[in-house]
Each structure stands twice: as C-alpha cells, then as structure tokens.
Amino acid sequence: MHPYTAPLADIRFVLHEVLDVPALYARLPGSDAATRELIDAVLDEGARFVETVLAPLYQSADAEGCHFDPATGAVTTPKGFKAAYAQWVENGWGGLTAPESAGGQNLPETLGAVIKELVDATNLAWGNYPLLSHGAIEALKHFGSDWQKEVFLNRIVSGEWCATMCLTEPHCGSDLGLLKTRAEPGADGSFAVTGTKIFITGGDHDLTDNIVHLVLARLPDAPAGTKGISLFIVPKRKTGRDGVAGEANAVRCGSIEHKMGIHGSATCVMNFDGAQGWLLGEPHRGLMAMFAMMNSARLGVGLQGLGLMDRAYRCALAYSKERLQMRALGGPKFPEKPADPILVHPDVRRMLLTCKALSEGSRALALHGASLLDVIERSSDAAERKQADELLSFLTPIIKACLTEWAVEGTYHALQCFGGHGYIREQGMEQLARDARITTIYEGTTGIQAIDLLARKTLQTQGMGLKHMLTMIVEFCTAQTRNTALAEFVAPLAKAAQDWQQLTLEIGRRAGQNPEEIGAASVDYLFYSGYVVLAYWWARSVATADAGAHPDAFKTAKRETARFYFQRILPRTQTHAAAILSGAGNLMALEAEAF
C-alpha cells in the first residue's frame, strides 16, 4: 500500500485561510491558546503519530481481526492496537478537546476534527475506540453529576478507560422506541440493567482495564416508545462513588460479529444480566443525552468518510503516475517510455478529480461544521450560539451522510484506477472500500440522516438552518459580484441556492398534503443539499486561494478542481431534482405482493 502523508497543506489552507480559525479562536473565550503556531505544531505531531503509529497497522489489523474467547467473554484487539492506544494516551490525544476541569487540553473541536480525519485516513478500525470515548465525554460533560464526572469523565478524558454507546437491540436499530432493555432501581441508588445489545463497537477489548458503557434502558414506570428511555452508566468493572473499579460487573460480551470491514474494531453482542448501573441525566430523558453524543459521533463518522476518501485518492493518484499503460489519445506523452502513465487518460483523470473535488470540498464543509461546535460551546453571544446551533443541526445530517456516501464513491473510483490490482488485498484499496461501506450505515443510515434533514431539521423548523446557509451563500455571492475571475462559479452558485430554496418550498407544500412526499424526497434532497453546499465551499476556496499568497500551481489546482466540480459534479442536482419532483406516487403505488 502506498505510504500515507497527511495532507497538511490543504488542511492548513482550510483552517487558516478559508475558515480563518485563528481569528475565531482569538475572540472565543477560553480559546486564545489556539494560535496558528500552536495549531500547526499540533498538526505536525498528529501527522507524525498517524503516519508512524497507526498507518503501519492498517493492513495487518484487517488480516488478523479481533479475537473472542467464549470462555471468558474477553476480546483481544489486533497486534499493535494496544501499544498504539497507550502511545495515544501518553501523548494526550484523548483529552485534546476535553475541558481542563476534567484534565483535558480544552483545544477547539475544529482541531480535534482534523486529528480525527488523520486517524481515520490511516486506521479507521482503531479510530473507533477513541471516537466512542469522545462521544461519552460529550454526554458526561453535559449530563453527568459531579461524582460521575469525577469518577468516569476524568478517566475517559485521560484515556485510562474507554467508553461505548449501547443503543441497538436485535429487533431495534433505527427505531429506538422498540427497545426492551430494562433497569430496576436498587437500594443504593444504583440500577440493575438487564437486556441484550448488539453492534456495540468496542463492547469489549484489551486497550483499557475498565470500559464505561452508556446504555439505553427503560425504568419500570417508563412510558412506551421513545419518551420512556433513560441512559445509564454501566462500567465493565463495578465502579461506584468511591471511584474504585472493583469486581466484574454482570455485563459480558457474548460474541463478536464477522464483518465486511473494520476487522480491527470489535463489534460486540453485549449481555447485561442485572448489571450495576447509574442513571445519567434525568429519568426518561435518555435519548436527549444520547443525541448529545450522537451529533458529535455523526460529525465524527462524516470525518471518517473524509479520511477514507482522501486516503484512497492519494493512493490512486500515486499509482496513476507510476502505472504505464496505453498511449494518450492525442499521441504519446512520454515517447521514451514503453507506455504513458495512466494519468494522461481523460477517464482516469475524471475518476481522480471526482475524488479530489469531493474530498477537498468535504474538508472545508466538515471543518466548518466543527468550527460551529466551537462557537456553540464557547461564544459569549447567545444569539451567535443559537444561530450556530441551528446551522449545525441542519448541516450535521448532510456532513454525516454525504461525506460517507462520497467515501463509498471515492473508494470505488480509486480502486478502479488500480484495475485488477485494486481488487487484490495487497494494495489496500479494497480494504478502504470495505471499511468505507460501514460509514453510510452506523450512527444512522443515509436514509435516517435524510429524514432527519428534511423532516426534523428543515420542515419542522420552517427552514431555519437552511436560511442561515442560504444567507452565507448570498452574502458571499454579493461580495464577489464584481470579481469577474469568479463569475463562472458565483453565477451558478447563486442560481443553485435559489433553486434549492424553491425546491424546499415545493417539497413543504406537497408534504402538507401527503406526508409520504417527505420520505419520497428525502435522500435526493439530502444529496441535492450536499452538492449545493459543496459548490459554496468550492467557490469560496477559489476566492480564498486567489486572495492568498500561494504559488500559481496551488491557485490553478483549486480553480481547475472547482471548475471540474461545477461542470461535472454539480449537474447531479438536476437528476435529484427530477426524482424529487416526480413525487411519491412512483414509489408507493406497488402493493407489497406485487414487487
């Protein structure tokens, strides 16, 4: 597999210029430590860590997978994972963005997001263990009592313990209202949690001595459906207010799944048999706390998509420069060689540029999303916080679903550039494709994200988040009106934004008459939105590059990639619009038996 070199030049361009995060952190309370110099130093360290520690374990962990011992219920991670985790903890990466009060470094989420991209580009399976801890930190930070923070949060931040999210049960995945796991109150304020959870990432492993499970379950008096679900802290080893991790709790891994990819990530069936747990947050309000984890986890999964597609792109680019095959259609470009490198072929370029346009555009989009998290958490201006929250709520399903769908597409194209060699394990390309395949499923499938975007985040809010995004686009287009060098992007972007608004209104109108129009439009609307938002980031990237002190080659690359995006990718919106406007009829007419 081609070695990984972190794309720091593009990351710095997005952070420092497109988003100008140093200026943001200079004004956000408690963030002034995050100067450009500090950010750059962290990036260099992060790149070194993933390039030297995680990347070398990528293929070996896939070949080896996790081991499960049925006699003890213990899971062993692939060779090297434990040592890599120890080094991660020692370097303080786990607490990068966590509050100082919990022992963290309090650095911005935007920086954490960059590090997440690098981790996932080099070792997605490994990256899932810290990802779950990051989610638990969010939940404990916002909903934990003082002693819970002291005992659990601080140890997760330090990396001493890992965490999980236990939602899914055999009969309930997307539909959490169906869940059956129950929690009986005990005399000492603890609860006895009983039930079976499946698809639990990191449910058991050997990276840490204790594992903090956050488990959704029902109290005895709970109302039915989603309004009767509470969240519990259930440690692998019984741990109470004194913070001592004692004997084994009544929770045990029953088996691990054999999956298409992410073999190094243990996906466990977890059996809770009256396990000691502690209520986290209020009774029956567990989903709210879980969503606090989930939004951060969804952004995280979007970053997984970004990391995978960027990695795949860079491998395919390197291969396309080396591999000699056929001559350019206009005549030999390298007559001294037996054939031309395949990068001369327009169709290979089409595949590579698709990867490049989608991944660089996605980077700006995802890091913008992460920067909104920082505004929400740190701004002293309530109106600014509210607006950032509305916009991020709207963008989260787009980031989660589009970046992962594009990762599936990007890893497809990148593998295809390798021809038959891409199908062989040795090159690592098929592993990237297999690993990418889970990202459109976990933390809510693309279909679930699409309903979240259209029903909850758009129609139910009267398009509040959409309005903020449209305002950003209109303001940008207005500011660039006289910039003739940008006209080829600004004009179609302004048109796309207008069409997006009209399309949304039309869907809303139809949904008022028939709610099935929402589901019938949702995934196409999600993609439509994603392509318009990416067009904005591409136009803005060109404007930023032009305005900055960059070599001509850099400016040209941004402009040409943007041109490719606007001319060859953005037209996909036409197909999505046609599908949306065709209505629900062509989906709903067929009786179940007639399929």
* Partners of 269 in the β-ladder: 255
Stretch in the footprint of a copy of itself (CB under 8 A) among 5-13, 130-138, 422-430, 474-482: 422-430
Candidates 8, 441, 464, 472; binder of a copy of itself (CB under 8 A) is 441
Residue 378 vs 437, nearer CB to a copy of itself: 437
Which of positions 341-360 make contact with a copy of itself (CB under 8 A)?
Answer: 341, 343, 345-350, 352-353, 356
Is residue 52 close enough to count as binding a copy of itself by CB under 8 A? Answer: no
Please tell me what DSSP assigns to residue 173.
Answer: S
- Least spacing, CB of residue 507 vs a copy of itself, in Å: 12
Residue 129 vs 442, nearer CB to a copy of itself: 442
Stretch in the footprint of a copy of itself (CB under 8 A) among 10-18, 91-99, 208-216, 427-435: 427-435
> 484 exposed, middle or buried (CB, 10 Å; 0-12, 13-18, 19+)?
exposed
- Least spacing, CB of residue 258 vs a copy of itself, in Å: 4
Stretch in the footprint of a copy of itself (CB under 8 A) among 235-243, 465-473, 494-502, 581-589: 581-589
Contacts 24+ apart (CB under 8 A), 505-511: 506/581, 507/454, 507/459, 507/580, 508/458, 508/459, 508/463, 510/583, 511/459
Residue 383 vs 590, nearer CB to a copy of itself: 590
CB 342 within 8 A of CB 325: yes
> 553 exposed, middle or buried (CB, 10 Å; 0-12, 13-18, 19+)?
exposed
Candidates 71, 146, 338, 382; binder of a copy of itself (CB under 8 A) is 338
Residue 86 vs 578, nearer CB to a copy of itself: 578
Is residue 386 close enough to count as binding a copy of itself by CB under 8 A? Answer: no
Q: What is the per-residue binding string for a copy of itself in 249-288, x denoting contact by CB under 8 A?
A: --------xxxxx---------------------------
Residue 246 vs 585, nearer CB to a copy of itself: 585
Residue 16 vs 259, nearer CB to a copy of itself: 259
How far apart CA 460 and CA 455 sit, in angstroms, is: 6
Is residue 575 close enough to count as binding a copy of itself by CB under 8 A? Answer: yes
Is residue 106 close enough to count as binding a copy of itself by CB under 8 A? Answer: no
- Angle formed at CA 510 by CA 508 and CA 514, multiple of 5 degrees: 115
Residue 35 vs 567, nearer CB to a copy of itself: 567
Within a 10 A sphere around the Cβ of 244, how many other Cβ atoms? 10
Is residue 592 close enough to count as binding a copy of itself by CB under 8 A? Answer: yes
* Partners of 234 in the β-ladder: 213
Is residue 222 close enough to count as binding a copy of itself by CB under 8 A? Answer: no
Sign of the four-CA dihedral 523, 524, 526, 527 = positive
Residue 157 vs 357, nearer CB to a copy of itself: 357
Q: 522: closest CA among 531, 533, 511?
A: 511
Q: Kind and range of the H or E element at 528?
A: helix 516-547
Question: Reduced to 3 states, what is the DSSP secondary structure of residue 439?
Answer: helix
* 336 given a catalytic annotation: no
Which of positions 309-328 make contact with a copy of itself (CB under 8 A)?
Answer: 317, 321, 324-326, 328
The Cα-based distances of 325 to 319, 417, 421, 482, 581 in angstroms read 12, 12, 13, 46, 44
Question: Reduced to 3 states, what is the DSSP secondary structure of residue 156?
Answer: helix
Amino acid residing at 31: S
Stretch in the footprint of a copy of itself (CB under 8 A) among 6-14, 101-109, 145-153, 421-429: 421-429
Catalytic choice (169, 377, 390, 443) = 443
Amino acid residing at 518: I
Is residue 103 close enough to count as binding a copy of itself by CB under 8 A? Answer: no
How far apart CA 296 and CA 119 sit, in angstroms, is: 16
Q: 157: closest CA among 168, 178, 141?
A: 141
Residue 284 vs 356, nearer CB to a copy of itself: 356
List Cβ neighbours of 126 (8 Å cut-off, separation of 6 or more).
54, 57, 61, 81, 84, 85, 119, 264, 265
Within a 10 A sphere around the Cβ of 282, how many other Cβ atoms? 12
Question: Reduced to 3 states, what is the DSSP secondary structure of residue 221?
Answer: coil
Stretch in the footprint of a copy of itself (CB under 8 A) among 155-163, 291-299, 534-542, 564-572: 564-572
- Least spacing, CB of residue 360 vs a copy of itself, in Å: 11
Candidates 163, 518, 532, 545; binder of a copy of itself (CB under 8 A) is 518
Is residue 491 close enough to count as binding a copy of itself by CB under 8 A? Answer: no
Is residue 519 close enough to count as binding a copy of itself by CB under 8 A? Answer: yes
Which of positions 126-185 make contact with a copy of itself (CB under 8 A)?
Answer: 168, 171-175, 177-178
CB 276 within 8 A of CB 250: yes
Is residue 382 close enough to count as binding a copy of itself by CB under 8 A? Answer: no
How far apart CA 151 and CA 491 sit, in angstroms, is: 56
Stretch in the footprint of a copy of itself (CB under 8 A) among 128-136, 282-290, 501-509, 575-583: 575-583
- Least spacing, CB of residue 467 vs a copy of itself, in Å: 24
- Which active-site residues does the annotation give? 443
